[in-house]
Amino acid sequence: MKRIGRIVGIVSLAGAVFVGTSVGACGGETENPPATNEPDLTGVIYTGAATDEALEALLLAAPKTDAAQGVVVDTPAAGATLPKDVPPTIEWHVGGSSAAREPSAGERFVGAAKAIASFFGPREAWAHGAPVNGRAYLLVFSTPKSPELVRVFTTELSYTFDAASWTKLALTGEPVTLVVTNAIFEDNRVAQDGGPFTGEAVTFSIGP
């Protein structure tokens, strides 16, 4: 008898739980579609060990202003005019680091090699490899008429344009503004006190 009683009790409890969860699950979901706050990652170029998971985390976090943690763009300089036919290398460092100095001959050679390699095209998706640990940088290139025309997410401290992306910017005929936002990640998540930190904007032109 005890066994039968236990079975009846279990079946009753299961039924009650089922009804309860079903009612709860139905409530109010038919009127509005589920809200989504997933950022738009379309067209982002990934380099280095950057991942889309980390970028999503960066875009969902509220940016902070901290000059020591913000990025300083080394090249191009503000107000510079860059040649249209040569995809340039963008270089930067974090404000608080001691990295600002002229590149060595070897580093210039590597930059040139990257420029040549860039003609083979960008990597347009990168995910599910090693998670990002440390800093990663979102470069956003905008023109007055075309905000966020090119976006690059990278764990490196330089980026050499591919020909197609550079042409896209050059064809606008407008001045280009670059803003680099960086964050410090732990396993693709923005770390505690890890930003994101917005750097100062740099505007440059592309020659005819």
| Minimum distance from residue 71 beta carbon to another protein (Å) | 7
Closest to another protein by CB, 149 or 190 = 190
**β-strand pairing of 202-206 with 81-82:** parallel
Can residue 97 be called a binding residue for another protein (CB under 8 A)?
A: yes
| Minimum distance from residue 16 beta carbon to another protein (Å) | 32
Strand partners, 197: 64, 182
Can residue 154 be called a binding residue for another protein (CB under 8 A)?
A: no
How far, CA to CA in Å, does 75 sit from each of 16, 49, 71, 191, 197?
66, 22, 12, 28, 19
Q: Give DSSP secondary structure letters for 25-71.
A: HHTTTTTSPPP--PPP-TT-EEETT--HHHHHHHHHSPPB--TTTSE
* Residues of span 121-140 touching another protein by CB under 8 A: 129-131, 133-135
Can residue 60 be called a binding residue for another protein (CB under 8 A)?
A: no
Quick one: how far is CA 96 from the chain centroid? 21
Of the residues 47, 51, 69, 89, which one makes contact with another protein according to CB under 8 A:
69
Task: Give the footprint of another protein on this chain (CB under 8 A).
Answer: 49, 66, 69, 71, 74, 91-94, 96-99, 101, 106-107, 110, 129-131, 133-135, 155, 157-158, 182-187, 191-195
